[in-house]
């Protein structure tokens, strides 16, 4: 995973301090994939380190194995969705919030992690690899709406360049609501 850290560093570092007024940058799909893969790895390891053995501490083993087996590809695991947003703060070094979503049988179905580093916030949705094919209803449920639609940039999956910073940024007071957007449960199957 050290190679992933090395690949993510030049993409992530300029974002951490926020964008200077009037400046912008473009993240191409390859940069987005590296950043998204790093975010998935970081999110799952944060959950393992902080929440292991608790209700929200489930991490899909098959996704961790996929990351290990495909680490050189620098592509996020199938079934993963990652969003990137700006955070207007420099006094909160890092935050993390996680929620495990359960299916109708009460089994873990997905992990949702929202974490910030410097002036960047990531939102990661991950399933086990056996459930990697997301239904159209789940895709629609995952899509940001309201302020989140302007403030979150989807970086996994991605096939086109995106501009940074996004049209709106979050404040530290927005983080609980942002994390809550994916904590309401999976969309029902039709």
Q: In the chain, what are the domain boundaries?
A: 27-159
Tokens representing 143 are 């899509």
Cα–Cα distance, 81 to 113 (Å, whole number)? 11
Q: CB–CB of 16/97 below 8 Å?
A: no
pLDDT band at 19; cut points 50, 70, 90: low
Q: What are the two backbone dihedrals, phi and then psi, of residue 27, each rounded to the nearest 5 degrees? A: -105, 120
pLDDT band at 20; cut points 50, 70, 90: low
Asked if residue 22 has pLDDT above 80, the reply is no
Strand-pairing partners, residue 46, are none
What pLDDT is stored for residue 188 in this prediction?
Answer: 45
Cα–Cα distance, 24 to 166 (Å, whole number)? 9
What pLDDT is stored for residue 85 in this prediction?
Answer: 93
Between 26 and 107, the more confident residue is: 26
The C-alpha R_g of the chain, in whole angstroms, comes to 16
What pLDDT is stored for residue 185 in this prediction?
Answer: 56
pLDDT band at 77; cut points 50, 70, 90: very high
Q: How far is CA 52 from the centre of its chain?
A: 19
Query: Which residue, 60, 66, 34, is CA-closest to 47?
Result: 60
């Amino acid at each position: 995973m050290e190679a992933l850290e090395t690949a993510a560093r030049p993409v992530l570092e300029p974002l951490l301090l926020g964008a200077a007024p009037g400046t912008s940058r473009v993240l191409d799909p390859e940069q987005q994939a590296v950043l998204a893969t790093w975010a998935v790895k970081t999110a799952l390891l944060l959950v393992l380190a902080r929440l292991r053995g608790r209700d929200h501490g489930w991490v899909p083993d098959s996704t961790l194995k996929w990351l290990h087996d495909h680490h050189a590809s620098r592509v996020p695991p199938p079934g993963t969705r990652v969003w990137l947003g700006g955070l207007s703060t420099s006094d909160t070094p890092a935050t993390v919030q996680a929620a495990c979503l359960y299916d109708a049988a009460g089994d873990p179905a997905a992990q949702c992690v929202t974490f910030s580093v410097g002036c960047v916030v990531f939102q990661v949705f991950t399933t086990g690899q056996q459930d990697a094919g997301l239904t159209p209803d789940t895709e629609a449920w995952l899509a940001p709406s309201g302020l989140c639609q302007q403030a979150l940039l989807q970086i996994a999956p991605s096939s086109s360049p995106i501009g940074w910073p996004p049209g709106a940024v979050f404040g530290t007071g927005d983080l609980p609501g942002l994390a809550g957007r994916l904590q309401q449960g999976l969309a029902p199957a039709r």
